[in-house]
Amino acid sequence: MAILPIRIYGDPVLRKKAAPIGEITDEIRKFVDDMAVTMFDAPGIGLAAPQVGKSVRLFIVDPHLGESESDTQEFVAFINPVLREKSDDRVLIEEGCLSLPDIRADVERPRTLTVDFTDLHGERHTAEVGGMLARVIQHENDHLDGILFVDRINPVRRRLLGKQLKQLSRSQKKNRVAA
């Protein structure tokens, strides 16, 4: 397993709509294992495939949301997820993102939702989720549609973050050219 480089704001892959995964192959399973190592190393509680350069409809989530006392690093893979039945009850909570280091802002999202997804064994699941898990699933699913959490914040707050976002984008471009 390998730690994958996390793509930073300004990288075009973060703005692409990801393609569905057809077949769950050994290559996909290895990629998911690499994503997990990357997420826990970062450390993060969720990671979408586009954040590590692969534009496919896949993300992983730490079901313990970083709060497990166990040495076991567990994750759930969501392949070709579909979010539905989002609650009208919404909550405003501060978010951050591994692809936008050092940037945090309040984002309003539905408190609960239902998610359909395929697991690594090819089995289809439906889960009703709420709280922080619902938030993380929505955040990661946004990555699959080329949406970043800063796209969902108050326009005034986004304008205030403009300088930081430009600096991230410039540093990302410089690093990509140098690589």
Query: Which one from 23, 74, 128, 140 is the annotated catalytic residue?
Result: 140
How large is the average pLDDT for residues 158-174? 88
How many percent of the chain have pLDDT more than 90? 88
Please report the pLDDT score of residue 175 as a whole number.
67
Q: Which CATH class is domain 12-178?
A: alpha beta
Q: Name the residue type at position 140.
A: E
Q: Name the residue type at position 163.
A: K
Structural domain boundaries of the chain? 12-178
Active site annotation includes 140? yes
SS3 70: coil
- Greater confidence (71 vs 142) lies with 142
Please report the pLDDT score of residue 69 as a whole number.
64
For residue 134, pLDDT over 90 is answered with yes
Please report the pLDDT score of residue 71 as a whole number.
65
For residue 23, pLDDT over 90 is answered with yes
Strand partners, 58: 79
Tens-digit pLDDT profile for residues 92-125: 999 999 999 999 999 999 999 999 999 999 999 9
SS3 61: strand
Beta strand segments in the chain, E: 46-48, 58-61, 76-84, 90-97, 100-110, 112-118, 124-130
How large is the average pLDDT for residues 122-139? 97
- Tokens 């973050």 locate to 161
For residue 178, pLDDT over 60 is answered with no
Tens-digit pLDDT profile for residues 48-85: 999 999 999 999 999 988 786 656 689 999 999 999 99
pTM for the structure as a whole:
0.93
